């Protein structure tokens, strides 16, 4: 045991002489006109008219709406969610047109919670179609 400890103590000062690893090159600047990978497909998925409307899409939209939207916008999208009841300033009602609802989500109108990276484009369409179906 003491022999191993002695060997370790003798080798320790040698570690200080190791050269520092070279720094990696900075990433290259993307060429003009380049778009992030998948960007075109993401934009196409967000463009109207969106996926076909059926019962499954509306059910998915209802489920997602309850999780992501109802706490602020309320069960009917009127802007009377539980956070407003607990003192949050008034929240605008959701647009009843699916294209306008998509624009509101995608552009983060009124500085709401951004959905990019949290809600897939198809799921956003499901929410927008559900909101449109809520219209009286």
Q: How far apart are CA 132 and CA 134, in angstroms?
A: 5
Domains of the chain as residue ranges with CATH: 49-134 (1.10.760.10)
**Model pLDDT, residue 71:** 92
Cα 33 from chain centre = 24
Cα 86 from chain centre = 26
- Please, which residues have CB within 8 angstroms of residue 53's CB and are 6 or more apart in sequence? 129
**Model pLDDT, residue 58:** 95
- pTM for the full model? 0.69
Looking at residue 28, the DSSP 8-state letter turns out to be: P
Both tokens of 37, joined, read: 């990978």
Q: Note the pLDDT tens digit of each residue in 47-86.
A: 888 899 999 999 999 999 999 999 988 998 888 999 888 9
> Which runs of consecutive H residues, i.e. helices, occur in the chain?
2-11, 39-46, 55-68, 70-73, 82-85, 98-107, 121-134
Q: How far apart are CA 62 and CA 67, in angstroms?
A: 9
Q: Note the pLDDT tens digit of each residue in 10-54.
A: 666 655 666 788 888 888 888 888 777 787 888 888 888 889 999
């Amino acid at each position: 045991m003491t022999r191993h400890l002695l060997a370790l103590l003798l080798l320790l000062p040698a570690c200080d002489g190791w050269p520092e690893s070279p720094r990696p090159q900075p990433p290259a600047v993307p060429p003009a006109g380049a778009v992030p990978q998948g960007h075109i497909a993401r934009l196409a998925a967000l463009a109207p008219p969106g996926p076909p409307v059926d019962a499954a899409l509306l059910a998915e939209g209802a489920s997602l709406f309850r999780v992501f939207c109802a706490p602020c916008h309320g069960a009917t999208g009127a802007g009377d969610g539980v956070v407003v009841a607990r003192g949050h300033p008034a929240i605008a009602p959701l647009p009843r047109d699916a294209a306008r609802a998509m624009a509101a989500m995608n552009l983060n109108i009124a500085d709401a919670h951004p959905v990019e990276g949290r809600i897939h484009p198809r799921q956003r369409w499901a929410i927008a179609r559900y909101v449109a179906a809520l219209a009286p």
